[in-house]
Structure 1
Amino acid sequence: MPRDHRSGWQRRRLLVAIGAGTLAGTAGCLSAVDGENGGSTTESDNASGSENGSPYTRVYEETVDSVVLVRVSGEQGQERGGLGTGFVHDDYVITNQHITQGRSTVSVQFRRNDWQEASLVGEDAYADLAVLDAETPDYAGSLSFLEQYPAVGTEVVAIGNSFGLNASVSTGIVSGVHRSLRNPSGVTIPDAIQTDAAVNPGNSGGPLVNLEGAVAGVISAGGGDNIAFAVSTALARRVVPALIENGEYDAPYLGVNAVPTTPAIAEANGLEEPIGVYVNQVAPNGPAAAVLRGSTGQTTVSGTPVPTGGDVLVSLAEQRIGTPSELSSTIALDLSPEETTTATVRRDGSETTVDLTVGTRPPADASSGGGT
């Protein structure tokens, strides 16, 4: 679709309300009031940046024009809306679902003070991703998703509107992969990337990029304690195209709640050693209801109540499962609704293989009756 490319370089400034309660365990939608935050940005501010030899300066200059401020108006009866971040990908703007929250339109500000009304193309709460359609200026190039997992220790740069301060940058490393992250809506996002880059309110929806400028994750949560999280691009590569094409994403779902197989659980359930994950609950009407078995009783080990009778899930879709996070990642990335796959379980002292038909995850505001 043709775009109208009118721009000026002055950056809009904002006055934001900053308080200890703003963090609330998320990097997300920062409350904002009308005003400006003092100081201005001109083209000369960064004119000599690439001359200092810093790889962080280089990647910042290569990507910052593609990063936008997302401003959400307050809902009816509310004085305040919020601020977040987004970035251009394939001529759309990617941000977090916990920023858009179903609003049909939001305002986005591109780097050179180009304000646009962006329409919501689609959003998914379970991945905390949203896609916006805006008239993208020609200087705001598309940022690509990293095709493979970033290695733990990879240097990364977080770019966003931290505390409403436009185009802020922080640096760090990838601290872990395949994490499970509970987002502000209360649902668990699988396969998250962990980083120690500073992430604060207003950063949500922004890109976490490697030093080649590829997006390693979509920032979702942080709290200023050297632990922040981003939606992995492995998940984004599944969800974003579906949101663009259909406005929604059908997430794979089994309807089980699993916990780590601790030594106490292994002892209580007759296992020689801890292995796999213990199926604590199975949603009564979920896809796995007639196939997998949850806890049927409880015993005490060293004075601690321990569940008994549930299956121990050892592998799924030919992937070894060692933690609940690995189970969530396997379901989210390797399976699709209506697909039939195999699972290996330990039950009643023996190992067996069962067939499972994957379902579609219920809406985030509905009771799923199980975790993944």
Structure 2
Amino acid sequence: MKEMRSSRRAFLGAIGAGLAGATAGCAEPKSDRSIEGSSIRDINRENLADGSAYTDVYEAIIDSVTQVRVFGVDDPRTGEEGRGQGSGFVVGDRHVVTNDHVVAGGEDADLQYINGNWTSTRLVGTDYYSDLAVLEVDHVPDVATPLSFAEKRPVVGQQVAAIGNPYGLEGSMSTGIVSGVDRTLDPPERDFSFPNVIQTDAAVNPGNSGGPLVDLGGEVIGVVNAASAENIGFAISAALSRRVVPALIDDGEYRHAYMGIGLRTVDRLVAEANDLPEAAGVIVTDVVPGEAAADAGLEGSPRTVERHTEPVPVGGDVITALDGEPIPDRHALSTFLALETSPGDTIAVDFWRDGTERSTMLTLGARPPVE
């Protein structure tokens, strides 16, 4: 097995170097669509076209991508028990990564590999705040090499492929580029944001959720997430996944650093209303009593004024740096907390108050569990 993994990684590296110049879908009850099909098992492997470097990537990692079928999910259309479906991929010896929202609310989940093998699972851990989940499986085919999360940060224009099971069509692949990085995603029906999200124009659809967005070396740069728009998809970054997934495997949960504030990026309107020297930083709109920011003495905005029919917070502390790292906007703050800190860490907070630059020390708490 070790030799097989090494040779596969070498093969992926070679095809990634040789190419010349997903990601969002969602679990849903079983579709009424009548489309069915298989990408590999029933294909006559004789007299095939040559394909491309993308074909080589697909063939090298498809055995490690699974279809996830979740039972006991309430069908939002009928209120009756239905079935959800999504995607996942093998990490480690007996674990599969998928999205939290793919398995949330389900009573049971089965996985199917592209070779047709089925396996039962048990839920190891989920994290609502990163939309990641880990399943332990009873069976992993010998050919399913565990995928790894990329160490390098993705760049705009990088070629990628999303592999998964849109509408239950197993083993589907779409290709594109990284069309944006360092995004903050506000998921529907959740009162927080996903930080450090990757944006792609690779086509994704319901059922792609939880599948890998891979580079041409076969490394996972992101886990496909539910939110999408026309020609735009998103993925939870490898950087965040590298922190969350091992904790889910070891402890069944992941504790996110938490300041306990509401915030808004300082734009021109906020800067003008608060007589700030520049439109940069984040203004504290609310402080949660008893949490880290309150203990550190940070203050929220006591009032708002209307500018161009928009309420603009006035009077709150404006955070400009955390531990010496500039914080130009809310994305920078959430990414710093997500990737650089843990609950219990004490950090320096630089901020403006009443026209004066100040600093305080703040000991981070843990984001409260979902009720």
Q: For residues 48 and 56 of structure 1, do their structure 2 counterparts lie closer, same or farther at Cα, with a shift above 3 Å needed?
A: farther
Matched with 2:19 is none
Structure 1 pair 317–299 and aligned structure 2 pair: CA distance change class (3 A): same
Asked if the contact 1:26/1:184 (under 8 Å) is kept, the reply is no
Identify the residue that residue 142 of structure 1 maps to in structure 2: 146
Give 1:169's match in structure 2, choosing from 166, 173, 186.
Answer: 173
Matches within 5 A, 1:231-242: 231-242=236-247
Provide the residue aligned with 1:85 in structure 2: 87
- Report the counterpart of residue 108 of structure 1 in structure 2: 111
What SS does the aligned partner of 1:351 have? Answer: strand
Aligned residue for 1:81, secondary structure, equals strand
Once residues 210 and 150 of structure 1 are traced to their aligned partners in structure 2, the CA distance between those partners, rounded to angstroms, is 9
> Matches of 1:39 and 1:336 in 2, distance apart?
45
Aligned to 2:303: 297
Contact 2:71–2:107 under 8 Å retained in 1 = no
Residue 10 of structure 1: aligned partner: none
Write the mapping of 1:298-337 to structure 2, written as runs, cut at 5 A: 298-301=304-307, 304-337=310-343
Look up the match of 1:256. 261
Q: CA deviation at 1:33?
A: 6.3
1:129–1:278 Cα change, 3 Å: same
Task: Name the counterpart of 2:212.
Answer: 207
Q: 1:318, CA displacement in angstroms?
A: 2.2
Match of 2:67 among 69, 93, 96: 69
Structure 1 residue 58: deviation in Å? 1.1
Q: Which residue of 2 aligns with 1:283?
A: 288
Alpha-carbon distance between aligned partners in 2 of 1:104 and 1:247, rounded to the nearest angstrom: 17
Matched, 1:266 2:271: yes
Q: CA deviation at 1:193?
A: 0.8
CA contact (8 A) 1:251 1:361 kept: yes
Structure 1 stretch 350-359 or stretch 288-297: which is displaced more? 288-297
Question: In the aligned structure 2, how far is the partner of 1:263 from the partner of 1:79?
Answer: 50
Partner of 1:11: none
Q: 1:50–1:278: structure 2 CA closer, same or farther, 3 Å change rule?
A: farther
Secondary structure of the equivalent of 1:294?
coil
Residue 319 of structure 1: how far off its partner (Å):
1.4
Instruction: Please state how far the C-alpha of 1:125 moved relative to its aligned partner.
Output: 0.4
Name the residue aligned to 2:16.
Answer: none
Match of 1:191? Answer: 196
Q: Is the deviation greater in 345-354 or in 176-185?
A: 176-185
Checking the alignment, whether the CA contact within 8 Å between 2:41 and 2:114 is kept in structure 1 is: no
Contact 2:291 2:365 in 1 (8 A): yes
Within 2, Cα distance between the matches of 1:46 and 1:294? 65
Does the 8 A contact of 1:30 with 1:164 survive in 2? Answer: no
Question: What is the identity, as a one-letter code, of the residue corresponding to 2:298?
Answer: L
Asked if the contact 2:100–2:128 (Cα under 8 Å) also holds between the matched residues in 1, the reply is: yes
Asked if 1 retains the 8 angstrom alpha-carbon contact of 2:284 and 2:317, the reply is: yes
Label 1:45 to 1:353 Cα distance change in 2 as closer, same or farther (>3 A): same
**RMSD of Structure 2 on Structure 1 (CA):** 2.5
**1:17 aligned partner:** none
Residue of structure 1 equivalent to 2:134: 131
CA 1:56–1:40 in structure 2 vs 1: closer, same or farther (change >3 Å)? closer
Q: Report the Cα offset of residue 75 of structure 1.
A: 4.0
Q: Compute the TM-score of the two structures, normalised by the length of structure 1.
A: 0.86
Could you tell which deviates more after superposition, 286-295 or 81-90? 286-295
1:158 aligns with 2:162: yes
Deviation at 1:287, TM superposition (A): 1.1
Q: What is the CA deviation profile of residues 312-344 of structure 1, one whole-angstrom value per residue up to 9, with x for unaligned ones? A: 110112211111111111111111101101011
Matching residue of 2:8: none
Gapped runs of 5+ residues in structure 1?
A: 4-24, 366-372
Q: How far apart are 1:303 and its partner, in Å?
A: 6.2
Paired residue secondary structure (1:148)? coil
Instruction: State the SS of the aligned residue for 1:158.
Output: strand
Give, in whole Å, the separation in 2 of the partners of 1:360 and 1:303. Answer: 36
SS where residue 173 of structure 2 aligns? strand
Aligned partners of 1:47 and 1:252: how far apart in 2?
51
| Number of residue-to-residue matches in the alignment | 342
Q: What letter corresponds to residue 225 of structure 1 in structure 2?
A: E
Q: Quote the Cα distance in structure 2 between the aligned partners of 1:339 and 1:267.
A: 34
Which letter maps to 1:244? I
The answer to whether the 8 Å contact 2:287/2:293 transfers is: yes
Q: Corresponding residue for 2:28?
A: 30
**Counterpart secondary structure, 1:73:** strand
SS in 2 for 1:307: strand
Q: Once the 2 structures are TM-superposed, how far is the Cα of residue 108 of structure 1 from its aligned partner? A: 0.4
1:140 counterpart letter in structure 2: A
* TM-score where L is the length of structure 2: 0.86
CA contact (8 A) 2:73 2:106 kept: no
Higher relative contact order, structure no. (Cα contacts within 8 Å, ≥ 6 residues apart): 2
Q: What SS does the corresponding residue of 2:56 show, helix, strand or coil?
A: helix
What per-residue deviation string (whole Å, max 9, x for no partner) do you get for residues 98-136 of structure 1?
011154641000111111111000000001000001121
Give the counterpart letter for 1:138 in structure 2: D
Letter of the aligned partner of 2:126 in structure 1? E
Unmatched runs of 5 consecutive residues or more in structure 2: 2-22
Question: CA separation in 2, counterparts of 1:313 and 1:303?
Answer: 25
